[in-house]
Amino acid sequence: MTNPVPLVEIWRAALCESLHSGHAVVCDAAGQIVHSWGNPATVIYPRSSAKMLQALPLVTSGAAAKFGLNSEQLALACASHNGAKIHTDRVGKWLDQLGLQDGDFRCGAHMPKDGDARDHLIKTDQSPCQFHNNCSGKHAGFLTLAQHLGAGPEYVEPDHPVQQACLAAFEEATDATSPGFGIDGCSAPNFATSLKGLARSMAWFASAHHRHDRASQAAASLVQAMTAHPELVAGEGRACTELMRAMGGRVAIKTGAEAVFVAMLPEQQLGIALKITDGSTRASECAIASILVSLGVLDPAHPAVAKFMDVPIVNWRGINCGSIQPAAVLKF
């Protein structure tokens, strides 16, 4: 069994002060490993990096077409958004379209990450609603599929037809039986897989535009929606949004809680999956940026890259004290 390897280094002056270790895999369209670090067989919860997989049945079932969903709604179905007005307004209209309301969600409420939205709630003495949940777009997709299937309201239950459809899509794309699930922050089951399986599924998405079966066409439409609307997939200041913009729509990327990150590279038909074992987001963002740079799809000189890779550590007086940088093994 291969142990996790150091992927991201924290430097202060001439001393490497801290290390973030993890696992990462790059797969091709055939599901074969092209590059790997650590143990590709490591089993993880993909967390929100699996939202494209969870959105597949929304499209393959015919629900998206029946309800006339547009590319913005498909992007939101894959999103972990900031709860900004551009997100909550669209989610609200989507629920209106279904004849549903906030209470029909099962994701729970939390304060939005977007500063303006958060400040507005505080200033007006309001509590956040479930629209503000970063997963509300995914849950709008779940509700759409549930209506299409004529299924009951408890759509996050593991035995509900919506979640059974998600599991079937997940296992088809990863080409493996999931060993189990955990309950995610938004209350939906999150199915486990190996890191190779997750990377394989991302390569399947990345190469979907070369195939013509129903599932592949659905996958291609989700990738296109994400790259067309990076601001809806996450939000201003977020790595998913800023790095997708920096790559000009050539690559779709998605973060997941506890330092998971995935990427789909349609031009190269490659899929990437990585996991930082200590759950550090600063490390997963640095690692995914470094791999994308090494694969030639992300310009290291782009201003957005400096926010996530080779990031200066600046103290309270504005003095540059060190940096967050990828380990040498990621520069291939």
Report strand pairing: 270-276 vs 15-27: antiparallel
Q: Which residues contact 284 (CB under 8 A, 6 or more apart)?
A: 22, 255, 259, 260, 261, 274, 275, 276
- Length, in residues, of the chain: 332
Whether 208 contacts 219, CB under 8 Å: yes
Alpha helices in 182-238 (DSSP H): 195-206, 214-228, 230-233
Q: Which of 227, 230, 238 is nearest to 115 (CA)?
A: 238
pLDDT confidence of residue 326: 98
Residue with tokens 């597949």: 56
> What pLDDT shows up at residue 332?
87
Outline where 9-105 has alpha helix (H): 51-60, 63-66, 71-77, 85-98
- Residue 262's pLDDT is 99
Which two tokens mark 89? Answer: 């307004």
pLDDT tens sequence for the chain (332 residues): 589 999 999 999 999 999 999 999 999 999 999 999 999 999 999 999 999 999 999 999 999 999 999 999 999 999 999 999 999 999 999 999 999 999 999 999 999 999 999 999 999 999 999 999 999 999 999 999 999 999 999 999 999 999 999 999 999 999 999 999 999 999 999 999 999 999 999 999 999 999 999 999 999 999 999 999 999 999 999 999 999 999 999 999 999 999 999 999 999 999 999 999 999 999 999 999 999 999 999 999 999 999 999 999 999 999 999 999 999 999 88
* Residue 69 burial class via C-beta count within 10 angstroms: exposed 0-12, middle 13-18, buried 19 and up: buried
Structure tokens at 182: 């955990």
User: Which pair of tokens denotes residue 175?
Assistant: 């080409």
Of 2, 71, 6, 27, whose CA–CA distance to 204 is shortest?
27
DSSP letters along 235-263, please?
-TT-HHHHHHHHTTTS-EEEEETTTEEEE
Set out the domains of the chain in order of their start, with CATH numbers.
5-330 (3.40.710)
Query: Which of 50, 223, 212, 77 lies closest to 143 in space, CA to CA?
Result: 77
Torsion of CA 79, 297, 259, 327, to 10 degrees: -170
Which stretch of DSSP H or E encloses residue 165?
helix 161-174
